[in-house]
Amino acid sequence: MMFNLPKSVSIIEVGPRDGLQNEKLFVPTEIKKKFIKGLKNAGLQEMELTSFVSPKWVPQMGDAAEIVADCLDLNARDIVLAPNRKGIDRVYMSECKAVAFFVGVSNTFNQKNINKTTADSMAELQPLIAELKDKNYFVRACISTAFYCPYEGKIDENDAINLCTEFVQSGVDELSVADTIGMAAPHEAYSLFSKLKQAFPDILITAHFHDTRKLALANILASLQAGIDRFDTSAGGLGGCPFAPGAAGNAATEDVVYMLERMGISTGVDLKKLVDAIEIVRPHLSRQIESGYFKLHAQTV
């Protein structure tokens, strides 16, 4: 017997950012723009558009300013990632009003990803969060390696909760808590998300599962039962972090939407239009799309 299921959930589409940052080849900017517009046309109201990170570190996001200038929809929640003050200065030069910071619970992962310890990252970000909140920006905190780290192995649940607590005390609006390398099992997802829901009833809490071991849908179901009603997913199941070896794609938006809608949980996403959007980017990818729903419904596979 299922319990505690919501009537609707929010899907935060991360394909244009988490998906395309990890492609071997640079996806042409014009294709990215059409992909993003196709995703919006499918009803995706919250989206990570791109990242204002160093193009030396992640060349795939080097066209971020142009993407934001062309695709930003001020009536939707379009988010850009930023790692530091320079990223925020780039946000201020754009019209974007929602920012995501990202920090790893694991020190080693954070060093590889942002070249800083977790503590140094937090010391840098706390005043930036306060500044953004003063200016009425929406601030999202992405908590990487909340369950397992490719370098340090299993993460202590209390360490993940402590980092979330620091972010909440800094004033963020949302925690997006990630299984970066797709290693969490449903009992671990249930445990952490139940505790976070209880600890932070007034904060948006979102689950971000990579699907390396094909446990993302099971983890989403477990998180739903823990009271989570927001999920980061990626069209086509694209995704992965260039600095997290073994991180395969995210939970595929189309598979998640299919499962939820079949369960009577509304997502606001039109699956047919979503498949059309994936068809735009698919010829430019270096990988096959493996999601079950896309393989069944695409014209071009």
Residues involved in catalysis: 241
SS3 146: coil
Closer residue to ligand HMG in complex, CB, 175/260: 175
In angstroms, how far is CA 175 from the centroid of its own chain?
11
253 neighbors 15 (Cβ within 8 angstroms): yes
Q: Least Å distance between CB 246 and ligand HMG?
A: 12
Per-residue interface string for the shown chain with ligand HMG, residues 206-235, x marking contact by CB under 6 A: --x-x-------------------------
d(CA 139, CA 210): 22
Binding site partner of 126, from Mg ion, ligand HMG, none, Cβ cut-off 5-8 A by kind: none
Residue type, 179: D
CB 72, min distance to ligand HMG, A: 18
Site string for Mg ion, 18-47 (x = CB under 5 A): x-----------------------------
Please report which residue ranges of 141-282 form alpha helices under DSSP H: 157-170, 186-199, 216-225, 253-262, 271-281
CA atoms lying within 13 Å on the CB side of residue 285 = 23
- The smaller minimum CB distance to ligand HMG, of residues 182 and 271, is found at 182
Q: How far is CA 66 from CA 51, 83, 93, 101, 233, in A?
A: 11, 18, 12, 20, 23
Task: Count Cβ atoms below 10 Å from residue 227 Cβ, excluding itself.
Answer: 17
Site membership for ligand HMG, residue 184 (CB under 6 A):
no
Could you say which of Mg ion, ligand HMG, none residue 115 binds, taking C-beta under 5 to 8 angstroms by partner kind? Answer: ligand HMG
Residue 209 binding target from ligand HMG, Mg ion, none, CB below 5 to 8 Å by type = none
The binder of 151, among Mg ion, ligand HMG, none, by C-beta within 5 to 8 A per type, is none
Residue 121 CB coordination number (10 Å) = 23
Report the b/e string of 142-171 with b at 16+ CB within 10 A.
bbbbbbbbbeeeebebeebbebbebbbebe
Q: Please name the residues in contact with 195: beta carbons below 8 A apart, sequence gap of 6 or more.
A: 157, 161
Total number of residues binding ligand HMG (CB under 6 A)? 27
- Identity of the residue, 62 or 298, whose beta carbon is nearer to ligand HMG in the bound complex: 62
Binding residues among 263-292 for ligand HMG as defined by CB under 6 A: none
**Residue 218 near residue 184 (C-beta atoms within 8 A):** no
Task: Tell me, residue by residue from 49 to 88, as one string, x for binding to ligand HMG by CB under 6 A and - for no binding.
Answer: --xxxx-xxx----------------------x-xx-xx-
State yes or no: residue 18 binds ligand HMG (CB under 6 A).
yes
**Residue 254 binds which one of ligand HMG, Mg ion, none, with CB within 5 to 8 A depending on kind?**
none
Distance between alpha carbon 148 and the CA centroid of its chain, in Å?
17
Dmax over Cα atoms in the chain, in whole Å? 51
Among the listed ranges 17-25, 92-100, 169-177, 189-197, the one in contact with Mg ion (CB under 5 A) is 17-25
Tokens of 122: 């937090």
Tell which positions 110-169 bind ligand HMG, by CB under 6 A.
Answer: 113-115, 142, 144
Partner whose binding site includes residue 52, from Mg ion, ligand HMG, none (CB under 5 to 8 Å by kind)? ligand HMG
Interface contacts to Mg ion, rule CB under 5 A: 18
